[in-house]
Amino acid sequence: MEVERPDVLIHAAAVCGGIGANRAEPGRFFFENAVMGVHLIEDARRGGVGKFVQIGTVCAYPKNTPVPFHEDDLWNGYPEETNAPYGLAKKALLVQLQAYRQQYGFNGIYLIPVNLYGPHDNFDLASSHVIPAMMRKFIEAKESGRDRVDLWGDGSASREFLYAGDAAEGILMAAEQYDGPEPVNLGSGQEITIRDLAEKVASLVGYRGEIAWDTTQPNGQQRRQLDVSRARELFGFEARTTLDDGLRKTVEWYMTSRLTETSQASRG
């Protein structure tokens, strides 16, 4: 801070992952997200940073939030249990920023992106989110000739997804135009069931085998869709990338990445 003297600091770092990763390491997900955020906000205040942009998480919303999720409902209950430690750690940073605004006049804003995806995503099956996990499973099944892919839950849960490029645009728009204390959702406003998502991804990568649902594993929160009107009204953000286009771009990037890795490995 003292060397760079930033005018604006965007805190987008997180220790995060899908349901499996959250269940495996809830303590780490709570501690590391809370500690890095708390210290970074305090250091930014002490270092005279003009504006702090905190990226929160849709996991902070209560388990039974009415759909679409509105920012005013953020405190009306406990988050869905499988990712509550992560969600609460991130939500505590909203409290810190609002308290710092009140006491120190520190300009910190808090954005709540919905589930993100896109090129350069994490495709590690042990820690990835649903879209990259599906893509990898279907692609590997196709390549190996397997006729069945197992997915968690029963497919009935729904999610809203925001393409990473759109999220980046929304974050920059908020950094430039929004200076308020209230949290703001960033999303596409469109909801899809996991079952329908799986069929889209399978079709996109050319997998024609069976999609089997492992109902011994959790669905996670049953529905997620954001009310995105506040972002539109306060700084004019609207997602521009459709889910179909975003999935296609992500698959193309991942396939190119896999080919590059295979080529490098063969030369090594």
Annotated catalytic residues are: 86
Q: Could you tell me which of 56, 66, 59 has the C-alpha nearest to residue 80?
A: 59
Residue pair 236/177 in contact (Cβ under 8 Å)? The answer is yes
Could you tell me the CA-to-CA distances from 136 to 96, 152, 254 in Å, in that order? Answer: 38, 14, 9
For residue 85, is the peptide bond before it cis, meaning its omega torsion is within 30 degrees of 0?
no
DSSP-based helix, strand, coil % in the chain, nearest 5:
50, 15, 35
Q: 237 in the Ramachandran plot: left (φ > 0), alpha (ψ -120 to 50) or beta?
A: beta
Residue pair 129/161 in contact (Cβ under 8 Å)? The answer is no
DSSP-assigned letter for residue 66: P
